[in-house]
Amino acid sequence: MEQIQRIQDVYRPVEERVKDVNEVERAFAAADIIPQASRCSNCGIPFCHGAGCPLFNLVPEFNAAVAAGDIRKAYDTISKTAFYPEFTGRVCPALCESSCTRNLNDEAVMVRQTEKFIIETAFAEGWVEQPQAAEPNGKSVAVIGSGPAGLYAAEALRRKGYAVTVYEKRPKVGGLLRYGIPNWKLDKSVIDRRVALLEKAGIKFVCSTEIGKDISAEYIKRNFDYVFLAIGTPNARDLKIPGREAEGVYLALDFLHGASLPGETNPERFNAKGKRVLIIGGGDTGNDCVGKSIREGCKSVLQVEFMPQPPETRSPSTPWPDWPYMLRTSYAHHEGGERRWNVSSKSFVVKDGHVAGVNVVKVDWEMSPLGRPLKPVEVPGTEEVIEADLVVLAMGFTGVPAEGLVNDLQLQLTPRTAIIPDPSRGIYAVGDCANGASLVVRAMASSKQVVGKL
Ligand SMILES: Cc1cc2nc3c(=O)[nH]c(=O)nc-3n(C[C@H](O)[C@H](O)[C@H](O)COP(=O)(O)OP(=O)(O)OC[C@H]3O[C@@H](n4cnc5c(N)ncnc54)[C@H](O)[C@@H]3O)c2cc1C
């Protein structure tokens, strides 16, 4: 029998997608997805489900249902463990796929797109309903922050019969799903569709309201039985080198903001049109900045990374079924631009108050026996200037949450500056603010775990 191969090209053609802000991925039909799901061998120990997925999604079970053409059953299966497959089906790095047994001598089963297909079919068929709330238990909860952790906690609590109010300081619900991840990875109507169902289930959303500023933490403690902090990690890591104050040097989230919100535009200074863009930071956020620069018609875009280039294939330091340390090439890298590794930024070149480039030097890395970078060493004589009209800092988040609010609630921060909750007073912390900047799926899984214990 002919072996079914994993579909390689999941994106719309580059020339088409860079001209719009619509989702970069193709929508797959049943005829594409059903054979893909049938590649799942339902192996004896499904690492995708346990070691891979933080939500413990029943991946082999929903693959089997899809392979049998029973999408309703697949939807019912996925609904047992996950509330929002439409988010993870679009943006999850698919930890399940990296732990798929087929990886051992073939390519992983295409799980993420299957998940998206199941939930989009479910919406199209009218199967997705508002969450069913249990009998009211007479207790109230304030959820502070409406990112994936806040939404997941709100729904899980509502299902248990709590009266839930979500406070969000931004004008709209969604956290980084809306104000970080660009529209071309997650169309914002997908968030609105889900929030409408949550509202129907009786969850109250109060936007444009910052707790600790517009409403005091004291008020929240007095008026609610429980408080769920889901405030994310709002502080981006900065690059405090000479010249940082120059015009034209921006944090990634400021630069990305307009890209995430169709119909809204960023101030002109954030627009990359005709500019030589330098992105400092080689992670996912930096990749999205590459995508934005290309969509806006930049003259050139270069992404630099301090760390060395990871190996093309799984490093021995991360054997299967671990999440592999290896080179990742995102949708944006297929769209254009260049990447460089081992680059240390020393100072900004400033002309008339505006950035004109960055002074950099090459670093070599001492490596561990298993090929992990241990210690950087600057290489004398490799100093150079990278010219740029716009520099974007995409170097992750410090993990320092809103200290004012944490103090007002008399909570503590760990040395990693994640929030230490105080369940004895009914105060819980979930998502990135509790665990450090991570992933949508982990933010949701953290809420699932905490609410599950209530
Ligand atoms: C550019 C970018 C791209 C990313 N891409 C991906 C990806 O492709 N896949 C993936 O899995 N992850 C991705 N991530 C990471 C992911 O978005 C986060 O891990 C996730 O959103 C964290 O969820 P959260 O609910 O804990 O926090 P957040 O999403 O940060 O939400 C916190 C919310 O709390 C609100 N808030 C804060 N303080 C207050 C207050 N005092 N009062 C009221 N509201 C408050 C904030 O306004 C915000 O809406 C990306 C992140 C960025 C920045």
From 87, 169, 176, 179, give the residue whose CB has the most ligand 1 atoms within 8 Å, as the site to mutate.
176
The ligand 1 atom nearest the CA atom of 170: 47
From 191, 231, 411, give the residue whose CB has the most ligand 1 atoms within 8 Å, as the site to mutate.
231
- Examine domains 14-125 and 249-393 and report if their fold is the same: no
pLDDT value at position 417?
A: 77
Whether 210 lines ligand 1, by a CB cut-off of 6 Å, is: yes
Give me the percent of the chain exceeding a pLDDT of 90.
82
Q: How far is it, in rounded angstroms, from Cα 18 to Cα 293? A: 10
Ligand 1 mean position to 175 CA, how many Å? 5
Whether 406 lines ligand 1, by a CB cut-off of 6 Å, is: no
In CATH, 140-234+398-453 is 3.90.700.10: no
Within 13 A of 163's CA, how many CA atoms are on the CB side?
Answer: 8
Whether 395 lines ligand 1, by a CB cut-off of 6 Å, is: no
Q: Inform me whether the pLDDT recorded for 414 exceeds 90.
A: no
Whether 405 lines ligand 1, by a CB cut-off of 6 Å, is: yes
Ligand 1 mean position to 232 CA, how many Å? 5
Cα dist from 297 to 22, 261, 292, 300, 381, whole Å: 16, 18, 9, 9, 34
Mean pLDDT of 396-410: 82
Contact 431, 447 (CB under 8 A): yes
Cα dihedral sign for 70, 75, 78, 80? negative
| Nearest residue to 303 via CA among 294, 314, 313 | 294
Q: How far is it, in rounded angstroms, from Cα 93 to Cα 440? A: 9
Ligand 1 mean position to 230 CA, how many Å? 9
Whether 290 lines ligand 1, by a CB cut-off of 6 Å, is: no
| Nearest residue to 237 via CA among 253, 258, 260 | 253
Closest residue by CA, ligand 1 atom 12: 439
Contact 128, 197 (CB under 8 A): yes
Closest residue by CA, ligand 1 atom 19: 439
- Segment 334-384, tens digit of pLDDT: 999 999 999 999 999 999 999 999 999 999 999 988 888 899 999 999 999
Ligand 1 mean position to 204 CA, how many Å? 20
Whether 431 lines ligand 1, by a CB cut-off of 6 Å, is: yes
pLDDT value at position 215?
A: 96
pLDDT value at position 109?
A: 97
Q: Inform me whether the pLDDT recorded for 260 exceeds 90.
A: no
Whether 432 lines ligand 1, by a CB cut-off of 6 Å, is: yes
Q: For domain 14-125, give the fold.
A: Fumarate Reductase Iron-sulfur Protein; Chain B, domain 2 (1.10.1060)
Closest residue by CA, ligand 1 atom 33: 145
Domain ranges of the chain: 14-125, 140-234+398-453, 249-393
Between vectors from CA 180 to CA 429 and to CA 447, what angle results, nearest 5°? 25
pLDDT value at position 413?
A: 86
Contact 72, 127 (CB under 8 A): yes
In CATH, 249-393 is 3.50.50.60: yes
Residues near 40 by beta carbon (within 8 Å), at least 6 away in sequence: 59, 60, 63, 64, 67, 109
Kindly calculate the radius of gyration of the chain based on its CA atoms and give it in whole angstroms. Answer: 23
Q: Inform me whether the pLDDT recorded for 1 exceeds 80.
A: no
pLDDT value at position 95?
A: 94
Strand partners, 373: 367
The ligand 1 atom nearest the CA atom of 289: 1
**Whole-prediction pTM value?**
0.95
